[in-house]
Amino acid sequence: MSVSMTTLQAFDQYMTTYHSMDSNQFNRKNNKRSFRLAMHDASELQNLYSTIQWKNRFTPLYLTEPSARSIAYAIHLKESANNLKQTIGLLSNDDDLFSMKSAYSDNESLASVEYEPDDADGDVPSDFTLEVENFASPQVNTSKYLRANQPVSLSPGSYSFDILTNKLHYELQFNVHEGDTNSNLQNKLARLINNSDIGVSAKVVETRGLTALEVTSDAYGLPVQGERHFTITDDNTTYQSGVVDYLGLNKHIREAANAVYSINGNEESSYSNTFNVHGAYHITLHPESAGADRTSSDQLAARAAAVDSAGKNASARIGLYPDAESLANNIETFVEGYNQFMNGVINNVTEQPLTKLLSKDLHKFLDLHSYNLEKYGISINEDATLDYQKSDEITDAAAIKGFGTQILRKLNAISIDPMEYIDRRICAYPNPNASYPNPYMTSIYSGMLYNNYM
């Protein structure tokens, strides 16, 4: 493909805006499936190439001088169409559109669930009981509580201490100045630890005019190696020692703990609060339901106490929705994704003429399918967005699957040539007796942007 100034502008717009973004912004719940749906194998890329090539044989030559805004609009439209295609893919089981089963938890504050059939280990039960005995927690070292405004009793000078993890040994160096208070020193060390990016974080906690430094491991659960995730010491450090003893950084240590839970009475454990049951059920426990921020040792203790005191109440019934309800949930998710696609494209563009062609085309497309959409409680608004009245009583999915096939074709067309929705003048019609298979002439954005997906 020849490189023009317009091409460079488009490529710069794409790289700066979309390259580092997640491949599916609407639904991040199934990252593994999203990643797979965003990729193209050799046959898909060949089909894409052939589609662009075929389109060019019958497309007139257009004169376009796109502005920076129209370039941004075309690329945003292309990416938004791809995101909506992935949303539909996440709701479908292979080529069976909107057939993905969805899971429920009757205690979302304790545990939420996502269902991924591709990860199933053999036969997957339709439901089970989850009981939580303990949440996974990190290691937390809490220093002495000292008067915040009291000057430190350490002599001014250069100090250092070591943080030993299971993998590495870090020495942190700092200075103590005349007039530094306990709060100044604790905040200085918290910033030093957080800026070091060494697998632990720190913050200063305060109560009744007293402050303490709290150091927390990023890792949850029992250490794979050793007794602890980290150890703080200044026994063999380079500069002056004494800060560990002065602050009492090893005074109170709350050890890391695994999540302990049972499935239908069978006890199991996990290093984190996220784990799989029968492969397909992806469970996430929510310790925040028993406390606030994760790093406070008092709050961690409160969570554990809440689970202990809850007894039988610390449980959730988890299972699969009936087919009719799963279908209704899938349609609801699709409508939300479609409306986000439309609103995102329209709201991100300040020039209304840019969106006029898209709105008109999609409204015409939806009108052709309005009869089938109404069967499922879907109505079409004037701005080409959708409204949905959810019903769990619909069992016939044939019409909505047919609509899904058609909208995927429409989204493919938008993705292949988003410039179709920008005003442009026809210069010449193609010669019916000759074809020029230049695959990128119709839209200089199409093939270039797909190269990034290989």
Report in angstroms the alpha-carbon separations of 48 from 52, 352, 415, 436.
6, 30, 11, 17
Per-residue model confidence (pLDDT) at position 59: 72
Per-residue model confidence (pLDDT) at position 40: 63
Between 1 and 391, residue with greater pLDDT: 391
| pLDDT exceeds 50 at position 453 | no
Name which of 32-41, 87-96, 271-280, 284-293 the model is least confident about: 32-41
Q: Which residue in this structure is represented by tokens 């554990």? A: 304
Per-residue model confidence (pLDDT) at position 73: 82
pLDDT, tens only, 266-314: 999 999 999 999 999 999 999 887 553 444 555 555 545 445 444 444 8
Between 391 and 169, residue with greater pLDDT: 169
Average pLDDT for residues 156-183, to the nearest whole number?
92
Between 134 and 308, residue with greater pLDDT: 134
Between 438 and 170, residue with greater pLDDT: 170
| pLDDT exceeds 50 at position 46 | yes
Per-residue model confidence (pLDDT) at position 2: 45
What is the three-state SS of 215-260? EEEEEECCCCCCCCCEEEECCCCCCECCHHHHHCCCCEEECCECEE
Average pLDDT for residues 46-52, to the nearest whole number?
77
* pLDDT band at residue 116 using 50, 70 and 90 as cut-offs: confident
Name which of 71-80, 398-407, 409-418 the model is least confident about: 71-80
Per-residue model confidence (pLDDT) at position 10: 56
| pLDDT exceeds 90 at position 410 | yes
Between 16 and 54, residue with greater pLDDT: 54
| pLDDT exceeds 90 at position 258 | yes
What is the three-state SS of the chain? CCCCHHHHHHHHHHHHHCCCCCCCCCCCCCHHHHHHHHCCCHHHHHHHHHHHHHHHHCCCEEECCCCHHHHHHHHHHHHHHHHHHHHHHHCCECCECCCCCCEEECCCCCEEEEECHHHCCCCCCCEEEEEEEECCEEEEEECCCEECCCECCCCCEEEEEEEEECCCEEEEEEEECCCCEHHHHHHHHHHHHHHHCCCEEEEEEEECCEEEEEEEEEEECCCCCCCCCEEEECCCCCCECCHHHHHCCCCEEECCECEEEEECCEEEEECCCEEEECCCEEEEECHHHHCCCCCCHHHHHHHHHHHHHHHHHCEEEEEECCHHHHHHHHHHHHHHHHHHHHHHHHHCCCCHHHHHHHHHHHHHHHHHCHHHHHCCCEEECCCCCEEECCCCCCCCCHHHHHHHHHHHHHHHHHHHCHHHHCCCEEEECCCCCCCCCCCCCCCCCHHHHHHHHC
Between 220 and 352, residue with greater pLDDT: 220
* pLDDT band at residue 148 using 50, 70 and 90 as cut-offs: very high
Q: How many CB atoms lie within 10 A of CB 437?
A: 12
Task: Give me the percent of the chain exceeding a pLDDT of 90.
Answer: 46
| Most confident residue range from 18-32, 271-285, 309-323, 391-405 | 271-285
Per-residue model confidence (pLDDT) at position 15: 58
Between 90 and 257, residue with greater pLDDT: 257
> Residue 18 region, left (φ>0) first, then alpha (ψ -120 to 50), else beta?
alpha
Per-residue model confidence (pLDDT) at position 275: 93
Task: Give me the percent of the chain exceeding a pLDDT of 70.
Answer: 76
* pLDDT band at residue 338 using 50, 70 and 90 as cut-offs: very high
Name which of 115-124, 217-226, 231-240, 382-391 the model is least confident about: 115-124
Per-residue model confidence (pLDDT) at position 147: 94
| pLDDT exceeds 90 at position 105 | yes
What does the mean pLDDT of the chain come to? 81
Domain-wise residue ranges, the chain: 5-100+324-453, 103-137+257-320, 138-254
Name which of 113-122, 149-158, 188-197 the model is least confident about: 113-122
Per-residue model confidence (pLDDT) at position 400: 92
Per-residue model confidence (pLDDT) at position 370: 92
Q: Model's pTM, two decimal places? A: 0.70
Per-residue model confidence (pLDDT) at position 417: 83
Name which of 233-242, 269-278, 384-393 the model is least confident about: 384-393
Average pLDDT for residues 85-97, to the nearest whole number?
85
Per-residue model confidence (pLDDT) at position 445: 52
Per-residue model confidence (pLDDT) at position 35: 52
- Which CATH number fits the domain 138-254, given the four candidates 2.40.50, 2.60.40, 1.10.357, 3.30.70? 2.60.40
| pLDDT exceeds 50 at position 23 | no
